[in-house]
Amino acid sequence: MENLQRKIIHIDMDCFYAAIEIRDDPSLNGKPVAVGGASNSRGVLCTCNYEARKFGVHSAMASSHAKRLCPELIILPVSFDKYRAASKAIQNIFKHYTDKLEPLSLDEAFLDVSHSTLHDGSATRIATAIRSEIFEKEKLVASAGVSFNKLLAKVASDWNKPNGQFVITPRSAQQFMINLPVKKLFGVGKVTAKKLSDKNILTCGDIQKYSAHEMLDLFGNYGKQLHDMAYGIDNREVSNSHIRKSLSVEETFSSDISSNQIPDYIFSDLFEELNKRLRKLKHEKKENIKSINVKIKFEDFTTTTIQSSNSLYSAQSFVHLFRTRITNAEKKIRLLGYGVTFHIPNEKPHQKQLSLDLNNPNQKDSLTC
């Protein structure tokens, strides 16, 4: 495998938003706790602690459903300011260990410690030290993955969650990949997993039975990427100058609305929120917008996204995009979202897909979680 010499750590905080809430209110300790929209207002959960997960509760679940699974569940409102402050504190801790640092979201980051002399240059011991420092200073628990590339470090950080770490060495990688379920790879959601399982492909070892060409024929460009991932190949650098690929905001209505009855203020509020978020970004400016999109979730939970690369970025363009495609009122609408994608300088197609999957900024940053 490539890059034997690199030492990459992926840190991911455990049940991040919920952990912060519990830290700040110790009476919540040991109870099932979630953060998100209220269960009587069609809200959705951002996350929940591991006590709640025992009941089958998870991120992005409707709060009302979560309450049915776990009637004792305490659902707290979202306090982004607190989460941002904790995130900043954690990022500052990472800087004690390396300058080559790539935050992926508020609660996770890649660190390249290949050239560190700390802890005798042992990435495993550096990862342990980072987790201890986070706990001592922030009273929050993190998990870590250690490996020789980003793909494997990220898979590894999920392996011993919560409060654990896992190392994939060049020597163990081959065996590890053979048994790794495809669902653990970035970008393999339910739909891709189903397509793969229809061909009896359940593990990375199953993918390895196909040549790169066969995977390309079967699944298009993504098939080739899956083939690389199945062998644990990932040459991407840990990059400090992380550039965002997209930004989106969304709102779940308090009750479903017919498409022709959506009040104007909903469109203008969404545009204003997107604008506000856009202003906060460092690198990605309005002039760098590649396309705009409108996401619609219907009452039956089916979702459609309408995208345009030819529209100006304006409030009218979003409304126009919505109106040109949603012309009948046959299905009511549950959620509306506005989003943009950005031009990425010098982007290679393969890197693009991988980093899109990795960063998945839309979901974590959306207004309704």
Binding site for ligand TTP (CB under 6 A): 12-17, 46-47, 59-60, 107-108, 161-162, 363-364, 369
Which of 51, 107, 234, 365 binds Mg ion (CB under 5 A)? It is 107
Q: How far is CA 299 from CA 191, 248, 258, 332, 339, in A?
A: 21, 21, 10, 5, 21
Q: Pick the closer one to ligand TTP by CB: 37 or 232.
A: 37
Dig out the tokens for 197 from the structure: 């399982």
Q: State which of residues 8, 13, 201, 321 lies at the interface with Mg ion (CB under 5 A).
A: 13
- The active-site residue, picked from 108, 138, 250, 284, is 108
- Residue 332 CB, nearest distance to ligand TTP (Å)? 24
Task: Residue 17: name its binding partner from ligand TTP, Mg ion, none (Cβ under 5 to 8 Å by kind).
Answer: ligand TTP
Give the one residue of 7, 9, 10, 12 binding Mg ion; rule: CB under 5 A.
12
What does 138 interact with, of Mg ion, ligand TTP, none (CB < 5 to 8 A by kind)? none
How far is residue 254's CA from residue 270's CA, in Å, rounded to a whole number?
15
Respond yes or no on whether the N-terminal peptide bond of residue 162 is cis (omega within 30° of 0): yes
Decide which of ligand TTP, Mg ion, none touches 7; Cβ closer than 5 to 8 Å per partner kind: none
Closer CB to Mg ion, residue 107 or residue 138? 107
CB of 13 or CB of 90, closer to ligand TTP: 13
42: left (phi over 0), alpha (psi -120 to 50) or beta: left
The least CB distance from residue 79 to ligand TTP, in Å, is 12
Closest approach, Cβ 234 to ligand TTP, in A, equals 20
CB of 145 to ligand TTP, least distance (A): 12
Phi, psi of 277 (to 5 degrees): -65, -35
Helix/strand/coil for 86 = helix
Q: Least distance in Å: CB of 171 to ligand TTP?
A: 27
Q: Which of 80, 230, 261, 89 is nearest to 155 (CA)?
A: 230
- The residue (of 58 and 195) whose beta carbon lies closer to ligand TTP is 58
- Torsion angle in degrees (nearest 10) through CA of 77, 104, 339, 260: -30
304 bridge partner residues: 296
Strand order in the sheet with 33-36: 45-48, 33-36, 74-76
| Residue 261 Cα distances to 4, 249, 304, 316, 326, angstroms | 59, 21, 19, 17, 12
What residue 364 binds from Mg ion, ligand TTP, none (CB within 5 to 8 A, per partner kind)? ligand TTP
Residue 108 annotated to the active site: yes
Residues annotated as catalytic (active site), given as ranges = 108
- Judged by the rule CB under 5 A, the positions of this chain that interact with Mg ion are 12-13, 16, 107
